Structure 1
Amino acid sequence: MTSVCLMWLLLIAVYDFKQRRVPNWLALAGALLALATLAFGTSPLGGDWTNALLGAGIGFCGLLVFYALGVMGAGDVKFAGALGLWIGLSALLPVWLIGSLLAGVHAVLWMVLQRWPVLPGVALMLFGSPSQAVGDTSSTRVRFIPYAAYLALGAAVWMVWGRQSG
């Protein structure tokens, strides 16, 4: 089931990098697949129901605060809940750290390339145009960091390499 989870993470990352959003159907599909792996005892990280449900709850509620502050999209929050079902509470902190570090590098590169006087268009080529959150017509904030994509990459890194060191 690790390959199914990695495929789902890849879909999330590609979609979020390209569209700067995570569609509900993709987050829901991941949650349902995670629940199925738990029901059949084939969870990729060998987690149990308690660990998975705690991971989902903490993942969702932890990012819900950032959504309420207007700095994160709802798709990121829903994805974090579904991701928690896959990886469980025990892997959530390392995945958050990896994803946040990657998102931080993205933000720093974005700022540097926006201010680079020689080739300011390089930022658009590398990162695309920042887009507003879909369906949010009241907000003028832009969301140019695909946080769900970085969480997905962090989870993939943890699934492939993180478990080996533990």
Structure 2
Amino acid sequence: MTSVFLVWLLFIIVYDFQQRRAPNWLVLAGAVAALGALAFGTQPFEIDWASALLGAGVGFSFLLLFYAFGLMGAGDVKFAGALGLWVGLSTLVPIWIGASLMAGVHSVLWLALKHWPFFPRLALLLAGPSRTPESGPPTRRPRIIPYAAYLALATAAWMAWGRQS
């Protein structure tokens, strides 16, 4: 099941960096896989149902506040809930911290490059895809930070280094 989890994280990373959204079908697939792993006893992170459900509930609820204020997309919120099903609350906290630090660096770098365009292509890359009339309706606020991707990257880093200790 670890390989399924890693593939899911990879899809989230690629999709969120390219489109600045985590699609419902992909979030739902990860949540269903997490529930299946729990049901069949193949959960790769050795957490129980209570920890998984607590991680999902807190992950979703906490980020829902940011969505309510227009600071985060709904896909990021739903992904945090699905991720909580996989890793539980105790692991979700350091993953949030790591993802938030990466998102902070992303936003500071984007703002710096926006005001001092030393590397205009990097600034465009950090800003994400442009919203044209053909690409769909405009959102309330452009999504600059691919937070679901940073959550997934922080999770991969936790898997590589954090679980060793």
Fold similarity call, TM over 0.5: yes
Deviation at 1:129, TM superposition (A): 3.9
Residues 142, 91 of structure 1: CA spacing in aligned structure 2 closer, same or farther, 3 A cutoff?
same
Determine the C-alpha separation between the residues in 2 that align with 1:160 and 1:9. Answer: 13
Identity %: 65
Consecutive aligned runs of 4 or more in structure 1 exceeding 3 Å deviation? 117-122, 125-132, 134-138
Q: Which residue of 1 aligns with 2:66?
A: 66
The answer on 1:33 being equivalent to 2:33 is yes
RMSD between aligned residues: 1.9
The answer on 1:95 being equivalent to 2:108 is no
The answer on 1:57 being equivalent to 2:52 is no
Deviates more, 1:69-78 or 1:110-119: 110-119
Q: Which residue of 2 aligns with 1:163?
A: 163
Amino acid in the other structure paired with 1:108? V
Deviation at 1:160, TM superposition (A): 2.1
Residues 16, 105 of structure 1: CA spacing in aligned structure 2 closer, same or farther, 3 A cutoff?
same
Specify every segment of 5 or more residues in structure 2 that has no aligned partner in the other structure, as ranges: none
Instruction: Tell whether the 8 Å contact from 1:60 to 1:81 is kept in structure 2 after alignment.
Output: yes
TM-score calculated relative to the size of structure 2: 0.91
Deviation at 1:124, TM superposition (A): 1.1
Q: For each residue in 1:74-112, what CA deviation from the matched residue of structure 2 results, as whole angstroms up to 9, or x when unmatched?
A: 000100000000001110100000110111111111011
Specify every segment of 5 or more residues in structure 1 that has no aligned partner in the other structure, as ranges: none
SS at match of 1:50: helix
Correspondences of 1:73-88 after superposition (within 5 Å): 73-88=73-88
TM-score calculated relative to the size of structure 1: 0.91
Deviation at 1:137, TM superposition (A): 4.8
